[in-house]
Structure 1
Amino acid sequence: MNWTKFEKELEKAIFSGKHITFLVGAGLSVESRIPTFRGKEGFWKIGSKNYKGPEIGTFRMFNLNAIEVWKWFLFRKTICRKAEPNRGHFILKEIEDLLGDQFALVSQNVDSLHKKAGNSAERTYLVHGDLDYARCGNECSDTLYPFPELEDKTRESDISLEEEKLLMCPKCGEYLRPHVLWFDETYNEEYYKIYTVTEIADNSSMLFIIGTSGSTFIPGHLIDRVSHFNQPILDINIADSEYSYFIKDYSEGYEARETSTEALEKVLAIIKKIKHENGKILRTTK
């Protein structure tokens, strides 16, 4: 990774006044001990069969066995509730403070750690939903309800009859569902801001990809939009991903094979340096 060359690109991006977009995946939250859906922790046992996270986290499974899906998400919610933001989350908050309205955070994470770290709701786009909320599984309305307040759950925990009542939609009586994008569903603007983030990508002077394997639609989509306008892309990941072949061949592509925190520390230092050296000019840049 040529950080000297990248610094010049980042300075140009800041002076452009356009969005500088940070696309975040589960790799950022691994340092907060939140397991990924596809990792070794991402399975669920029903009877004698083991299901992977992408099998449990589907509307199909919800229709077949809503209680088992809720058990899985109540367990995950317990993990997220106990987790605290790591240094990488707090760096993103510092970067937002430095960049202001140029900053755009597009997160695939549903764990609430960006909120805990202090990133603003106005500049954060949760494209896979938010485990702080639930909505009617029958879509009787588009109302978002606070995530049901049940006691902490483990993999072995059952749901009592009294607790089950808290999982019902107050309007129609059907099961609520976690407010997340499931693996067999498609993005929309109403819940997941897909058109908004597409417009942001089209108006970005730089894209950071942080801790994502590229197994979902969003990384490839944003890479396609940003590269169409020949803007720089920095992939921060500890290993190659599904889009690495493109980044390696892309004339404006950069790779940092480091942890999210290690690379973001360097990015933060560069932004502080640019801001310090060009403070008066940048304050007048729109």
Structure 2
Amino acid sequence: MLALLDDALSREGPMLFLTGAGISAESGIPTFRGPEGYWTIGSKNYRAEELATYEAFTRMPEEVWAWYLYRRSVCRAASANAAHLALVELERALGDRFLLITQNVDGLHLRAGSTPARTFQIHGNIDYLRCEDESPEELHPRIREIPAGISLEWPKTRRIADAERALLQCCGRGRWSRPHVLWFDESYDEPLFRFESSMDAVRRASLVVVIGTSGATTLPSHIVNVAAHRRVPMLVVNQDESPFTQIAERLSSAAVLRGTATQYVPAITRALIERA
């Protein structure tokens, strides 16, 4: 590991940290693809992959919103862990040479102290909403915080009340807003999800550290594949086998660290700070 970090420090370009659900799991946030992901509407149980879609939202916006408000309550009850805080410390040390790309929508990196300008939330943020259509002078939808009138505490069985419904139907003529997240049946773009910026960063990167992600989504896969093609120093921190661990194990320019984010991220950041 240390030889790869020394190699990275001898190069120019940003040091890129890509985080996934594994780093948030240690703060108690479930992935919502397991037992916690099931949501009952009427007599039917839905999986996360079925609810987190534009198609589902167009059919049952109120029910999808209730699921996201429950998920938001789980996220807001969690606190940043040692891995989140270590990345904040490293950003302070590296400044503009640091870049964080996160798949997580829980906002924990920002609440830990990571700066928005150096944090690409490529799947959105569950604390925010947006309207599909803005006025003609708006080039892109504006991203707004969920109104303060929507409670942060949202039990799993709670339904949306009339006053809360009015706050969420805020897009003109009583149309529903939507959670600011990338759904399974949608594509990445630059204005909302920093697709081009992320790809540009990995093409210039001096180091890529992949933390707690299974490699199941498109943009992270592109990032790792570009890093592998460029033979950029790369560390993959993961407890389980994944496409990313398999790529790293084949490369002399990469290493796999089998374990959790809190086991390894503080050590990686400490070593970089000491050597920078």
Q: TM-score, normalised by structure 2?
A: 0.93
- Report 1 or 2 for greater relative contact order, CA contacts < 8 Å, sequence distance ≥ 6: 2
Instruction: Write the distance in 1 (CA, Å) between the matches of 2:184 and 2:134.
Output: 18
Between 1:14-23 and 1:85-94, the stretch displaced more is: 14-23
1:86 correspondence with 2:87: no
> Residue type of the partner of 1:255?
V
Paired position in structure 1 for 2:21: 26
Name the amino acid aligned to 1:94.
E
SS at match of 1:250: coil
Offset of residue 110 of structure 1: 1.2
* Partner in structure 2 of residue 173 of structure 1: 174
State which drifts further: 102-111 or 38-47: 38-47
| 1:147 is the counterpart of 2:170 | no
Structure 1 stretches of 4+ with a deviation exceeding 6 A read none
User: How many residue pairs were aligned?
Assistant: 270
Deviations 1:215-259 (A, max 9, x none): 111221101111221112211011111333222212322101111
- Distance in 1 between residues matched to 2:24 and 2:82, nearest whole Å: 10
Between the aligned partners of 1:120 and 1:172, the Cα distance in structure 2 is: 36
2:126: which partner in 1?
131
* Structure 2 residue matching 1:209: 3-state secondary structure: strand
CA-based RMSD = 1.5
Aligned-partner Cα distance in 2 for 1:217–1:148: 31
Q: 1:105 to 1:265 in 2, by over 3 A?
A: same
Instruction: Tell me the CA shift for residue 163 of structure 1.
Output: 1.3
- Local SS of the residue matching 2:236: strand
2:113 aligned residue: 118
Task: Output the CA distance in 1 between the equivalents of 2:134 and 2:21.
Answer: 28
The DSSP-based 3-state class of the residue aligned with 1:70 is helix
2:4–2:234 contact (8 Å) kept in structure 1: no
Q: Does structure 2 retain, via aligned residues, the 8 Å contact 1:137–1:174?
A: no
**Map of 1:260 onto structure 2:** 261
C-alpha deviation, 1:84, in angstroms:
1.2
Aligned counterparts of 2:233 and 2:6: Cα–Cα separation in 1: 12
State yes or no: 1:69 paired with 2:70.
no
The alpha-carbon deviation at position 266 of structure 1 amounts to: 1.6
- Is the 2:19–2:103 Cα contact (8 Å) retained in structure 1? yes
Structure 2: gaps (5+ residues): none
Amino acid at match of 1:146: E
Structure 1: state its 5+ residue gaps: 1-5, 276-286
Instruction: Judge which range, 263-272 or 202-211, deviates more.
Output: 263-272
Q: How does 1:1-286 map to 2 (within 5 A)?
A: 6-138=1-133, 142-149=141-148, 150-151=150-151, 152-275=153-276
CA offsets, 1:181-215, max 9 Å, x none?
01110000010010001000000011111011111
CA contact (8 A) 1:37 1:54 kept: no
Aligned-partner residue type, residue 233 of structure 1: M
Distance in 2 (CA, whole Å) between partners of 1:210 and 1:172 is 43
Contact 2:19 2:212 in 1 (8 A): yes
3-state DSSP class of the match of 1:243? helix
State the secondary structure of the residue aligned to 1:178: strand
Tell me, yes or no, if the aligned pair for 1:21 and 1:207 is still in contact at 8 Å. Answer: yes
